[in-house]
Amino acid sequence: MPNVCVASLALASDRKEARHRTTKAETREAHIWRATACLWAGPMNFRGWVAFVKFPPASLLLLTSGSPRRLFVHATGPETSTCVVNMAEEAKKQAAYTAVDNHVQNNQVVGIGSGSTIVYAVDRLAERVRQEKLNIICVPTSFQARQLILKHGLMLSDLDRHPELDVAIDGADEVDADLTLIKGGGGCLTQEKIVAGCARHFVVIADYRKDSKVMGEQWKKGVPIEVVPMAHVPVSRKIVQLFGGEVNLRMGVSKAGPVVTDNSNFILDWKFERVHSWKDVHQAIKMIPGVVETGLFVGMAERAYFGMEDGRVQVREASVH
């Protein structure tokens, strides 16, 4: 009888140890697949690499012995989405930092654009002002830009006091091969265009997702058009008559009713069906009564900085006609 008890205890111990080994193996495998998903998302995600190399070489066999279908499932999960987002944010940062370093000098008046990428530009600008004791005056394009300037303790001004700017730095929703831009996803297109037009140099910062050969390749929300509220219906009808496509009044997300710009106007989003001569389109839409401005920036940007997936910054200059 004691021998039976000893045998039972030994069997239970073996089962417990086996379960422990299985759990450790499953945990280790899960971490490896998660790290692999990050690596497949792009070379900029070093956290995935660190998690990957922590395991002993024997664990690498899991990568070759596992099912390809399993890798596909893991590579399209939430972990990969997070990796891609982090990669895009790092790309924005690299583009913004490079542009600020290349174009901002002491005793300049700088136009500050709007959007998610400009946050990194203001971060870098404030860092340089502190470290290099620069004298920089900032002119904002929006409420958001104004708040960023004040948050960092930078010198705030406006076009009344400084109507001529040395450089303006702004983001874009899409940039084509000719450096024609679609802007206004954040609703600040009119002020952004005014500030850009007052600058001797206008440079654009963006991540790799905003780079297109032709308009509409990446940005699918259409061209923003700022209109006087009472004119939004006739303007919408006229745009469709002239150029086809679909025009929608932009509605608020956290409010009932349409988006209202800093200028108390409405925003139309025109989803075009084909590639146009964008200079002609811009001029024609501007002639429609009730149109304040379009989100087409044609022949304005002289240089664009794209943060790439591999950490490089790609620079494109406007062609000289």
Per-residue pLDDT tens digits for 257-296: 999 999 999 999 999 987 789 999 999 999 999 999 999 9
Output the six-digit token pair for 56: 């002993």
Q: What percent of the chain has pLDDT over 90?
A: 67
Q: Residue 285 has what pLDDT?
A: 98
- Give the residue-averaged pLDDT of 119-138: 98
Collapsing DSSP states into helix, strand and coil, what is residue 84?
helix
State the DSSP code for 271.
E
Residue 59 has pLDDT above 50, yes or no: no
Q: Is the pLDDT of residue 62 over 70?
A: no
Q: Name the β-bridge partners of 296.
A: 182
Q: What is the pLDDT of residue 276?
A: 81
pLDDT above 50: residue 297: yes
pLDDT-based confidence at residue 71 (cuts at 50, 70, 90): very low
- pLDDT higher than threshold 60 for residue 21: no
For residue 217, pLDDT beyond 90: no
Alpha helices in 152-273 (DSSP H): 189-197, 232-243
Does residue 147 sit in helix, strand or coil? Answer: helix
Burial (CB count <10 Å: 0-12, 13-18, 19+), residue 239: buried
- What is the spatial distance between Cα 302 and Cα 319, in angstroms, rounded to a whole number? 8
* Tokens representing residue 21 in the block: 């080994």
What lies within 8 Å, CB to CB, of 116 at 6+ separation is 92, 171
User: Locate tokens 């932009």: which residue?
Assistant: 250
Strands (DSSP E) along the chain, which ranges? 108-112, 136-140, 155-156, 165-170, 174-175, 181-182, 199-207, 223-227, 246-249, 266-271, 291-294, 296-297, 303-307, 313-317
**Residue 137 pLDDT class (50, 70, 90 cuts):** very high
Is residue 80 very low, low, confident or very high in pLDDT (cuts 50, 70, 90)? low
pLDDT at residue 320, as a whole number: 65
Residue 17 is predicted with a pLDDT of 55
Residues paired with 313 in a beta bridge = 307
pLDDT at position 84: 67
Rounded to the nearest 10 degrees, what angle do helices 68-75 and 2-41 cross at? 60
pTM attached to this predicted model: 0.74
**Which tens digit of pLDDT belongs to each residue from 156-209?**
999 999 999 999 999 999 999 999 999 999 999 999 999 999 999 999 999 999
pLDDT of residue 13: 53
pLDDT surpassing 90 at residue 238 = yes
Q: 248 - beta bridge partners?
A: 269
Measure the CA–CA gap between 146 and 129, rounded to whole angstroms. Answer: 17
Domain 85-317 = CATH 3.40.50.300: no
Is the per-residue pLDDT at 45 higher than 90? Answer: no
Q: What is the mean pLDDT of residues 74-91?
A: 68
Residues whose CB falls within 8 Å of the CB of residue 18, separated by 6 or more in sequence, listed in order: none
Catalytic positions, written as ranges: 192
Backbone angles phi, psi at 270, to 5 degrees: -95, 115
Would you state the structure tokens that stand for residue 157, as one six-digit string?
């001004």
Nearest-angstrom CA–CA distance, 21 and 299: 64
Spans of all domains in the chain: 2-76, 85-317
Split at pLDDT 50, 70, 90, the class of 14 is: low
DSSP E strand boundaries for 171-263:
174-175, 181-182, 199-207, 223-227, 246-249
